[in-house]
Structure 1
Amino acid sequence: MNKPPQMKFGQMELHIISDGEFSLDGGSMFGVVPKTLWKKLKPSDELNRIRLGLNSLLIKHFKKNIIIDTGIGTKIDKRDIELYDIRRKRSFIEQLKDLYLKPEDIDYVILTHLHLDHCGGCTYIDSNGILKPTFPNAIHIVQRKDWEDANNTNIRTRSSYLKEDYLPIKEAGLLKFVNKREEIMPGISVERTGGHCDGHQIVFFESEGNKGVYLGDLIPTTAHLKPNWTMGWDLYPLEVINKKVILLDEAYCYNYLLIWEHEDEIPWGHIQKDEKGYRVISHRLTQTL
């Protein structure tokens, strides 16, 4: 059985569920950072695109199954598959089956934000062409501010949101709003960071003294550990910088496990600090549970 990366984390089980890889323009991923610098960490192809991962997290805790972000999903058309060079070895649902889980077994879906590459997998089109929630028994956790912004887009933001990804969740009564920082259940909480978009949130998890954080698009890859390396996609880059300074210091001091949603090589790890800044300490990808 080909299991996804996994580890024991106190009383929790952590599993990386990959929705595959895709490519985006390197300039858009690094904003004002010169290519001569970022290409050393993320080489680009002939179209100036870099490879990115789609790393969702499954947490098994207190007999509950929690998914953080759902990737792009299966509704995307052939044109966009080619445009973004989307590649998948196995489907999201197949990877859940490896863990003896069905979509109906998921209790919570926590969404860092409602951009199409983070919540596209929340819905699917069935064999009759009907749009349905992928996880019909799950409460979907969204920052209220991000919901408001997703439904009131502007010329800058409208291409990042697809209403078919999230409106069926509300129509099915599966949506729960949170505001700023809230506990979802013992050991799991969310915190609104802003920065990438106003309603962006990160997810903290803790068990038996072990601490971790799922970073969403605040720090999307290991190449974004420098606080001033922000994305062209970030609506409020100074907010990103300020939050990264605080969070990275906290993560270093308390030895957080960091999970990078768009990293194509190492989805999780710890960090150390030296005179050059922060660097990643690789973590074993898979442990026997």
Structure 2
Amino acid sequence: MKLSQTTIGPFTLYSIEAGRFRLDGGAMFGVVPKTLWGRQMDVDDKNRIHMAMRCLLIESHNTGKLYLVDNGSGTKFDEKFENIYQLDYSDYDLLSSLEEHGFSPEDITDIIFSHLHFDHCGGTTYYDDDGNLRHTFPNATYHVTEKQLETATNPNAREKASFLADNIDPIKNWDKLNIVGPNHQYEEGLDALPVNGHTLGQQLPRITGDEKAIVFAADLIPTHVHLPLPWVMGYDMYPVTTLEEKENYLDQAVENNWHLFLEHDADQEMVTVKKEKGKFSVDQKLTLSQLTN
């Protein structure tokens, strides 16, 4: 599998595969019965579905910045945790993906966190051979929304298991931490859409140029199978809010021909959306490289 890339406007975009893992299928689809989602998703003997941790690298030719959106789960886990989530780095991990595109961790100038659940920010740090916690990207400014940092620092009992101290503490104490508000614009052509249903203060980076737009869908739409409005994860803190946000942004995706970059879809990197008789579904399935063509 070759990693894909494309150029739109002043940005070159690179897909980054930070590894694969598995999550419970029932939790991923909430109230939707397995008889429906099981037609489109394979499960293992523990009812877990295969998931990607697909990040996005954004090279700005205007500012010289190199933005990394999310960075996967990282490697700071014991054997029990790895077995629960079936963490798999056999094809790619964060560092090998960067290397394939010709970059090193030291090249990253900015990290944009969609949110701080472990599978989105765990790669920020690692344990060295002496057991010391180190930052993977020593030159990077970290960007996280104020709402999300507050939530991650003081989580409710239901969300607590997703915010791990050895992920969160180094981020909140980083001397190059930049706390942003909703609708933050990182530079011309790169902004973020606010989302609060999955977790308070999630942000979806949007890249625009050459009359195209790519939206990093994060956990608003984790896979292409989640396009129908009621197909909301059991992990979402505020599912009714997710419903409203999905309808709003999917309507915009149809109207403006957004390309949705899918962080967790094991098979599909990016899709466009159509709406027929009030229902949303996949229009095109493609990769970043196919967008260039």
Corresponding residue for 1:107? 109
Q: Does 122-131 or 103-112 show the bigger shift?
A: 122-131
Q: Secondary structure at the match of 1:180?
A: coil
| Percent of residue pairs bearing the same amino acid type | 37
Corresponding residue for 1:140? 142
User: Using the alignment, how far apart are the partners of 1:130 and 1:254 within structure 2?
Assistant: 47
State the aligned residue count: 288
Give the AA of the match of 1:56.
Answer: C
User: Using the alignment, how far apart are the partners of 2:166 and 2:176 within structure 1?
Assistant: 15
Cα RMSD, aligned residues only: 1.7
- Cα offset, 1:285, TM superposition: 5.2
Corresponding residue for 2:152? 150
- Cα offset, 1:199, TM superposition: 1.7
- Residue segments in structure 2 that go unaligned for 5+ positions in a row: none
Q: Deviations over 1:32-74 (max 9, x none)?
A: 0011111111122221111111110011112221110110001
Corresponding residue for 1:193? 195
Q: Secondary structure at the match of 2:73?
A: coil
Corresponding residue for 2:75? 74
Corresponding residue for 1:45? 44
Corresponding residue for 1:279? 282
- Cα offset, 1:167, TM superposition: 1.8
- Given that residues 222 and 280 in structure 1 are in contact (C-alpha distance below 8 angstroms), is that contact kept between their aligned partners in structure 2? no
Distance 1:14 1:151, change over 3 A: same
User: Using the alignment, how far apart are the partners of 2:10 and 2:163 within structure 1?
Assistant: 36
Q: Secondary structure at the match of 1:227?
A: coil
- Cα offset, 1:282, TM superposition: 1.3
Structure 1 segments (4+ residues) deviating >3 Å? 284-289
- Residue segments in structure 1 that go unaligned for 5+ positions in a row: none
Q: Deviations over 1:230-249 (max 9, x none)?
A: 00000100110001101011
Corresponding residue for 2:248? 246
- Cα offset, 1:3, TM superposition: 4.4
Q: Secondary structure at the match of 1:181?
A: coil
Q: Secondary structure at the match of 1:286?
A: helix
Give the AA of the match of 2:286.
Answer: H
Corresponding residue for 1:17? 16
Alignment of 1:108-257 (within 5 A): 108-257=110-259
User: Using the alignment, how far apart are the partners of 1:108 and 1:186 within structure 2?
Assistant: 15
Corresponding residue for 1:87? 88
Q: Are residue 97 (structure 1) and residue 99 (structure 2) matched?
A: yes
User: Using the alignment, how far apart are the partners of 1:52 and 1:114 within structure 2?
Assistant: 18
Q: Are residue 61 (structure 1) and residue 45 (structure 2) matched?
A: no
- Given that residues 124 and 134 in structure 1 are in contact (C-alpha distance below 8 angstroms), is that contact kept between their aligned partners in structure 2? yes
Q: Deviations over 1:183-209 (max 9, x none)?
A: 011211112210001121211111222
Corresponding residue for 2:3? 4
- Given that residues 143 and 178 in structure 1 are in contact (C-alpha distance below 8 angstroms), is that contact kept between their aligned partners in structure 2? yes
- Given that residues 14 and 288 in structure 2 are in contact (C-alpha distance below 8 angstroms), is that contact kept between their aligned partners in structure 1? no
Give the AA of the match of 1:283.
Answer: L
- Given that residues 3 and 95 in structure 1 are in contact (C-alpha distance below 8 angstroms), is that contact kept between their aligned partners in structure 2? no
User: Using the alignment, how far apart are the partners of 1:13 and 1:187 within structure 2?
Assistant: 12
TM-score between both structures, scaled by the size of structure 2: 0.93
- Cα offset, 1:216, TM superposition: 0.9
Give the AA of the match of 1:216.
Answer: A
